[in-house]
Amino acid sequence: MSCQETNCQAMNDQTTSRRVYLDNAATAPLRQEVLEAMLPWMGLEASAAVGGFGNASTLYAEGRHARQALEAARAAIAAVIGAMPFEVVFCSGGTEADNMAMAGICAGVRERHGSAKGGNRVLAAGIEHHAVLEPLRALRRGGWQTGLISPNREGFVTPEALQAALAANSGERVTLVSVAAANNEIGSVQPLCGLADLAHERGALFHSDAVQMLGKQPFDVRTLGLDAASFSAHKLGGPKGIGALYLRSLTPFAAQQLGGGQERGLRSGTQNVAGAVGFARALELGLVEQQAEAQRLTALRDELAAALLALDGRISLTVDPREPEGGRAATDDQAVSGNQAAVGRQVAPGIRVALSSQSASAAQAVSGNQPASARQPTAVGQSAAGRYLPGILSILVAGLESEAMIQRLDDVGFAVSGGSACSTGSLQPSHVLLALGVPRKAAQSVLRISLGHQTKRQDIAAFVGAMAELLA
């Protein structure tokens, strides 16, 4: 057996002996510390003080005990994002939070001001998640005027692009603008500060889908000037089925899920206490590790990009996330939100939160956005951690379809995703890639590799070896 054959056999042994999970942007594995924090509230531990399974809306001891844990989790999450606890509304995840924001805010504005004063147009970036784009289509079917804001080739919504979209159809006032904090396919981090300011200057409210962003880079809703933001726990090692909508105090909103009036009447339904506790614990862990983990994943991502580009001429990057020399937008002290200076604070038994000085000061404000002049500026509004999220790499492999590559990589022990989905027997190219100007045929050959807390350097090396075999 030749040396090359020996190496290939060793690679095959390695890839089949242990699964390598590289799709953390889809969902991150539940962290052990999070599971341990959740167990008492699932009724699975006899040590729970009264009974962790209680319904948080009931008046007896089990319910009061559950309510205490729920509110402690709410306070912990609010402190991290710079909000007041009553501005955090728990829901089932990022999709529901996005739907709530789009439909609930528009309905609330219409109820409060009517279409003449409240506006009749809604704008969203063309690279938003379907959880924003589908509610946008529903609004259009309901009589609203809608529009998409075009990104540039690197995946960013520029102030100029938003300005042009706001100015279009000047006879119609814009009610709401939605731009994701970070894109789920290519990782581009948007300049939210400047975009929110532009929207507010035109009298529009501003929402951001921050599902991919939370826990990866500093994020402070008041510093960024947001009226609403969507979050989900399972992208940062928390449980599935729990998310939250930040809704700035006094923002018009009409509840979309009706029933018993939980969550201050903004989202009815029995609250997921264990999920909320797990969400808070995952966010705490992510915040403590944020800076070091961002540096580690950035290094692994850049190493992976370089290795794949050197491997085969058919591989190209959808966008190049690697920072050019001296290309960072700001120093750490100038970051768009200051969570890196965090200290621990216990908010309830078993739940701690790392609270930054900036988040603490922001949480003292009961309502209203900071004026633009009071917020820390950066060159383009992204944080100092980079213009792209550290753990996402999108590649194009000429001549091969995403689905075939995903299946072949799965067979040898690797989990990655593509920018296209199989629908009715045909591959539909990613709307994100098409919005960037990637040709339709090329967009059907994309792989998204997303790294996470459990990703090691040997996983990167093994994946490059698997790609070499796939392309041989």
Q: Quote the pLDDT of residue 45.
A: 58
List the catalytic residue out of 3, 106, 193, 422: 422
**pLDDT tier, 419 (very low <50, low <70, confident <90, very high otherwise):** low
**pLDDT tier, 398 (very low <50, low <70, confident <90, very high otherwise):** very high
Q: Quote the pLDDT of residue 13.
A: 44
In this predicted structure, the answer to whether residue 28 has a pLDDT above a threshold of 80 is yes
Work out the average pLDDT over 112-123: 84
> In this predicted model, which residue has the larger pLDDT, 407 or 368?
407
**Model pLDDT for residues 71-117, shown as the tens digit of each residue:** 999 999 999 999 999 999 999 999 999 999 999 999 999 999 877 67
Q: Quote the pLDDT of residue 119.
A: 84
Q: Quote the pLDDT of residue 427.
A: 64
Write the CB contacts of 120 (distance below 8 Å, at least 6 apart in sequence): 143, 144, 145, 172, 173, 175
Q: Quote the pLDDT of residue 49.
A: 54
Q: Quote the pLDDT of residue 470.
A: 97
Work out the average pLDDT over 386-400: 95
Residue 8 designated active-site: no
Output the CA torsion sign for 238, 446, 406, 430: positive
**pLDDT tier, 17 (very low <50, low <70, confident <90, very high otherwise):** low
Work out the average pLDDT over 435-447: 95
In this predicted structure, the answer to whether residue 327 has a pLDDT above a threshold of 50 is no
The answer to whether the beta carbons of residues 89 and 267 sit under 8 Å apart is yes
For the record, the structure tokens of 381 come out as 């509004």
Q: How many CB atoms are closer than 10 A to CB 61?
A: 12
**Model pLDDT for residues 85-94, shown as the tens digit of each residue:** 999 999 999 9
Q: Quote the pLDDT of residue 314.
A: 97
The answer to whether the beta carbons of residues 287 and 215 sit under 8 Å apart is yes
In this predicted structure, the answer to whether residue 449 has a pLDDT above a threshold of 60 is yes
Size of the chain in residues: 472
The helix (run of H) or strand (run of E) holding residue 466 is: helix 457-471
**pLDDT tier, 337 (very low <50, low <70, confident <90, very high otherwise):** very low
- If you average pLDDT over every residue of the chain, what do you get? 84
- Which range has the worst mean pLDDT, 233-237, 254-258, 329-333, 369-373? 329-333
Strand partners, 448: 394, 417
**pLDDT tier, 179 (very low <50, low <70, confident <90, very high otherwise):** very high
Work out the average pLDDT over 392-411: 96
In this predicted structure, the answer to whether residue 199 has a pLDDT above a threshold of 90 is yes
**pLDDT tier, 460 (very low <50, low <70, confident <90, very high otherwise):** very high
- Which range has the worst mean pLDDT, 22-31, 74-83, 109-118, 344-353? 344-353
Q: Rounded distance, CA 342 to CA 82, Å?
A: 12
> In this predicted model, which residue has the larger pLDDT, 262 or 386?
262
